[in-house]
Structure 1
Amino acid sequence: MPTRRAFIGGLAAASAYAGRGWAKVGHPAYLAAARDGTGAYRLFGLDEDGNGLFSVDLPDRGHAAAAHPHRAQAVAFARRPGTFAIVIDCETGRTTSVLNAPAGMHFYGHGAFSADGTRLFTTENEFDTATGMIGVWDVADGYRRIGSFASGGIGPHDVRLMPDGRTLVVANGGIETHPDSGRAKLNIPFMQPNLTYVSLSGEIVEQVEPEASRHMNSIRHLAVSPDGLVAFAMQWQGDVSEAPSLVALHRRGAAFTYLDTPPDEHRKMQGYAGSIAFSGNGAQVAITSPRGGLVQVFDVATARYRRSISMADVCGVAPAQGGFTITSGTGEIGRPDGASAGVLIQHDVQWDNHLVALHA
């Protein structure tokens, strides 16, 4: 996979691809953080088949990234609880801005841009009060922080822009953390996850909680279809032998629709879903479990389980034409076909949690 230097040097040869925004860096389909063979942390741009188009340095382990809708620019977030996020010009490989969480706060590893790319929204924890917050950053002014508002719960992890362009959906995981305690979970017996819809100005417009029997099922990661259907992946904080469904669908104004799995396949997930995505055509939704080494696929229209695919340490998943692309900590990138992982390519890296699809 090319280094930043090799990538920059190859730009001249690729001048036929030059254009606005992401076209300048070869039209990448995905972004993914990884640790390379030297132990360094990097953010990679990948094409649809998993080939590397570019890579840029990260100061520490990454988690997810937010891709600017128009510019070849990505915001890479530190693994939670982290206090930094860096803005990368993917054309030059330069870090153009550094986002530092305000005193008393930390990031949760995810963010989302407004549709016009003028604002970035970040999930944050005000840790002394255990209040979930959404930070607001002015992109044109060098990602200057211009405000924040409540996320509607504790431990907001993922955030996505809804298709209306006016609303964010937030996965409030319900888990209280504090940097003094590292990644320890401080409130499991009385945690309260929820799915919150909030306007870009901070007004909560809808909020849905799981029933009491599922209160230890932390809502963690989100996928949103073009028609506004939200899918979310959960991580069970109780005895894994008692874990309920780890994936659900939600449409505003309705209740959650839980997607159940055959008991034997469900147990293999070990109570943990790491990432979620709709298929390229929106007909299916998939969740991954690095603990179980498993991808599970469900039919959206019928809310029924379709199949499981085995891949060691699999976590990243994103839409692909006709299905999904998946990544693993072993360096593999696959395109599931039936029960096979359908490995496309092997890289000398350890892919981190998420594979971020670009829609440029």
Structure 2
Amino acid sequence: MATEVSGAPQRGRRQFLGGLIAAGVLPVPSWADAGSPAYLAAGARADGTYLLCGIAADLSVLFEIPLPARGHAAAAHPTRPQAVAFARRPGTFAVVIDCATGRQQARLTCPEGRHFYGHGVFSAGGEWLFTTENDFEAGAGRIGIWDVAAGYRRRGEISSGGIGPHDIKRLPGTDILVVANGGIDTHPDTGRTKLNIPTMAPNLSYIDQGKIVEQAALPHAQHKNSIRHLAVGPGGDVAFGMQWQGEEPVEALVGKHQRGGQIALFDAPPEAVREMEGYIGSIASSPDGARVAVTSPRGNRVQIFDTGTMGLSQVISLNDVCGVAPAEGGFTVTTGAGELRCLRGSGEARAKADLMWDNHLIPV
């Protein structure tokens, strides 16, 4: 009885405040309450602690929020100062963080027999979160569906349209999802071992209202090119970065697709492709869609392609570079050595943090 009495005023206050917010009397929290970050990124300190950070457009670090383990990517709520930080695959947790207060608001746990792939995306209105997952006993990709208003309660799952779904994005102005099915089967019992290289079949799958409405696949000669990361341009064209699983030299590691068409591969000289060492770590489309930037921490390179000519236009050497995101007039990149750089045609802005940045830089 004592518990009920002490809890009642708190519940009443929450209901009262909720009513004021719904009535428009109190302001609804926004990303401005968290310092208006331009980006989110996971990082680690030298002492082994892990963080989710907010980064301003001027490359200053606005906040550092502890994570329970190494992060990979994050999903930023479209309006609230709320982020979901995902564990690196094959992690089974994701944490929902109020970036204005630094408090954990919820923790997502995969159902038994699933693990996250480190990526997720909100619906356009922010009511739903969609997560890429592995049904590792069936060897099939799944998209988890989480109800934001219900405290991120899991409401179900749908097929990803392939094996090994990694990245997931939303097409501009819609709730149509595009999924990068990397094609690689893994199982937690064997760690990150790849179990099906000879038969892997990566694809892009488009999902509308829970149903796969279109798929695009690489030619068979490229079937060992795992489609991993996505960048969506303002016109809805989808650029993707790949990771080569074959022994022979690969023709290309970056491609583009638009619904109703065929996959097209960006062109680069063979030596430029070799410099990426078969591995694209992250990808971004410029705000106007005219350029696509990809990174390789293995090759220590940033490559920028022209989406009109489909050709390579710029190469930048940068040690352990991986995170990349659009910036006004160019791209912002992060490195494992704590560097942040904004690459623009008119020059570079640089900053250094006492952190090791992880794989991805997420626009807010």
The TM-score, its normalising length taken from structure 2, stands at: 0.91
> CA 1:276–1:339 in 2, change beyond 3 Å: closer, same or farther?
farther
Shift of 1:164: 3.9
Kept after mapping to 2: 8 A contact 1:310/1:339: no
| SS of residue in 2 equivalent to 1:180 | helix
Which residue in the other structure is 2:43 paired with? Answer: 34
Matching of residue 156 in structure 1 with residue 165 in structure 2: yes
Matching of residue 123 in structure 1 with residue 148 in structure 2: no
For 2:344 and 2:61, how far apart are their aligned partners in 1?
A: 22
> CA 1:226–1:280 in 2, change beyond 3 Å: closer, same or farther?
closer
Of residues 165, 171, 183, the one that matches 2:192 is: 183
For 1:106 and 1:244, how far apart are their aligned partners in 2?
A: 32
Matching of residue 205 in structure 1 with residue 213 in structure 2: yes
Kept after mapping to 1: 8 A contact 2:323/2:359: yes
Which residue in the other structure is 2:15 paired with? Answer: none
Q: What amino acid does structure 1 have at the position aligned with 2:54?
A: G
Q: What amino acid does structure 1 have at the position aligned with 2:325?
A: A
Shift of 1:216: 0.2
Kept after mapping to 2: 8 A contact 1:65/1:75: yes
Which residue in the other structure is 2:230 paired with? Answer: 222
Shift of 1:37: 3.1
Kept after mapping to 2: 8 A contact 1:30/1:45: yes
Kept after mapping to 2: 8 A contact 1:277/1:285: yes
Shift of 1:173: 0.2
Matching of residue 316 in structure 1 with residue 323 in structure 2: yes
> CA 1:82–1:131 in 2, change beyond 3 Å: closer, same or farther?
same
List gaps (5 residues or longer) in structure 1: 1-17
Kept after mapping to 1: 8 A contact 2:306/2:312: yes
Which residue in the other structure is 2:119 paired with? Answer: 110
Shift of 1:298: 0.5
Q: What amino acid does structure 1 have at the position aligned with 2:259?
A: R
Q: What amino acid does structure 2 have at the position aligned with 1:229?
A: D
| SS of residue in 1 equivalent to 2:271 | helix
Equivalent pairs: percent with the same residue?
A: 57
Shift of 1:50: 1.3
> CA 1:213–1:310 in 2, change beyond 3 Å: closer, same or farther?
same
Shift of 1:26: 1.2
Alignment size in residue pairs? 338
Of residues 68, 74, 80, the one that matches 1:65 is: 74
List gaps (5 residues or longer) in structure 2: 1-26
For 2:233 and 2:304, how far apart are their aligned partners in 1?
A: 16
For 1:19 and 1:328, how far apart are their aligned partners in 2?
A: 35
Which residue in the other structure is 2:352 paired with? Answer: 346
RMSD across aligned positions (CA): 1.4
Following superposition, which runs of at least 4 residues in structure 1 exceed 6 angstroms of deviation?
A: none
For 2:173 and 2:55, how far apart are their aligned partners in 1?
A: 28
For 2:198 and 2:257, how far apart are their aligned partners in 1?
A: 25
> CA 1:182–1:343 in 2, change beyond 3 Å: closer, same or farther?
farther
For 1:163 and 1:307, how far apart are their aligned partners in 2?
A: 27
Matching of residue 327 in structure 1 with residue 334 in structure 2: yes
Q: What amino acid does structure 2 have at the position aligned with 1:325?
A: T
For 1:95 and 1:262, how far apart are their aligned partners in 2?
A: 47
Tell which structure's C-alpha radius of gyration is larger.
2
Shift of 1:343: 5.4
Shift of 1:279: 1.5
For 1:190 and 1:70, how far apart are their aligned partners in 2?
A: 42
For 1:218 and 1:245, how far apart are their aligned partners in 2?
A: 12
For 2:229 and 2:303, how far apart are their aligned partners in 1?
A: 15
For 1:311 and 1:339, how far apart are their aligned partners in 2?
A: 18
Kept after mapping to 2: 8 A contact 1:281/1:322: no
Which residue in the other structure is 2:103 paired with? Answer: 94
Q: Tell me the alpha carbon deviations over residues 253-297 of structure 1, each in whole angstroms, 9 at most, x when there is no partner.
A: 000110021122211100100000011332110100000000000
Q: What amino acid does structure 2 have at the position aligned with 1:204?
A: I
Matching of residue 282 in structure 1 with residue 250 in structure 2: no
Structure 2 counterparts to residues 259-270 of structure 1, below 5 A: 259-270=266-277
Q: Tell me the alpha carbon deviations over residues 13-47 of structure 1, each in whole angstroms, 9 at most, x when there is no partner.
A: xxxxx974101011100000000232210000000
| SS of residue in 2 equivalent to 1:267 | helix
Which residue in the other structure is 1:46 paired with? Answer: 55
Which residue in the other structure is 1:5 paired with? Answer: none
> CA 1:343–1:330 in 2, change beyond 3 Å: closer, same or farther?
farther
| SS of residue in 2 equivalent to 1:85 | strand
Q: Tell me the alpha carbon deviations over residues 331-354 of structure 1, each in whole angstroms, 9 at most, x when there is no partner.
A: 0001225698x3510111100000
